[in-house]
Amino acid sequence: MEKLLIVVDMQNDFVTGVLGTNEAQTIVSDVADYVKNFNGKVIFTRDTHDESYLETQEGKKLPVPHCIKGSDGWQIVPELLPFTNNSNVIDKPTFGSLALSDFLKENDFSEIELCGVCTGICVISNAVIAKATRPNTPVSVLSNLCACVTPDSHNTALEAMKTCHIDII
């Protein structure tokens, strides 16, 4: 059985765009190197909203339109774009992806690894979904290949995932 790497939301808006951070920019080249050398299957999640974003629950709490389908900000960052194709990107309308859960139900892997942004929002949401879908598969998060809004929120999320038996490496 092969390993799976889930690259979470490495999109322009979260790196250099409206919700970009220095922390996210710092990890891009290392994530690209890791993806390039990964021995297994790689899939990408893509945060995807439409023009009605501000009326959604997420939009009310975070009134910054981002990752609007088809926009530049929605695209996977240029460094990772070459590794994407028609069948390895999962669009998701909110933090955690139930389509990812469906994919994991249909496809068994020896191990599941996650990296990307933001550690405390979409990485943690999808790590917990992976663990819930495949409780007997080791799930780990690559802490140096994740970034959050602040280093503090990054560390808080890593601690929370550890509590849920997600390995932090």
Q: Which residue has the tokens 């240029």?
A: 78
Nearer to Zn ion, 109 or 148 (CB): 148
Sequence-distant (6+) residues with CB within 8 A of 62 are: none
**Residue 47 near Zn ion by CB under 5 A:** yes
Those residues whose C-beta lies under 8 Å from the C-beta of residue 141, and which sit 6 or more positions away, are 113, 114, 115, 119, 123, 127, 158, 161, 166, 167, 168, 169
Question: Taking CB under 5 A as the rule, does residue 23 contact Zn ion?
Answer: no
Closest approach, Cβ 75 to Zn ion, in A, equals 14
Per CB under 5 A, the segment of 6-14, 47-55, 83-91, 133-141 that binds Zn ion is 47-55
Quick one: 14 or 34, whose CB is closer to Zn ion?
A: 14
Nearer to Zn ion, 91 or 111 (CB): 91
Which residue's Cβ has the minimum distance to Zn ion? 47
Please return the burial class of 165, using the count of CB atoms within 10 Å of its CB with bins 0-12, 13-18 and 19+.
exposed
Q: Shortest distance, CB of residue 133 to Zn ion, whole angstroms? A: 21
* Contact status: 13 vs Zn ion (CB under 5 A): no
Size of the site for Zn ion (CB under 5 A): 1
Sign of CA dihedral 16, 17, 22, 26: negative
In the numeric block, which tokens belong to residue 90?
A: 């999962």
Using CB under 5 A as the criterion, which residues of the chain lie in contact with Zn ion when the complex forms?
47
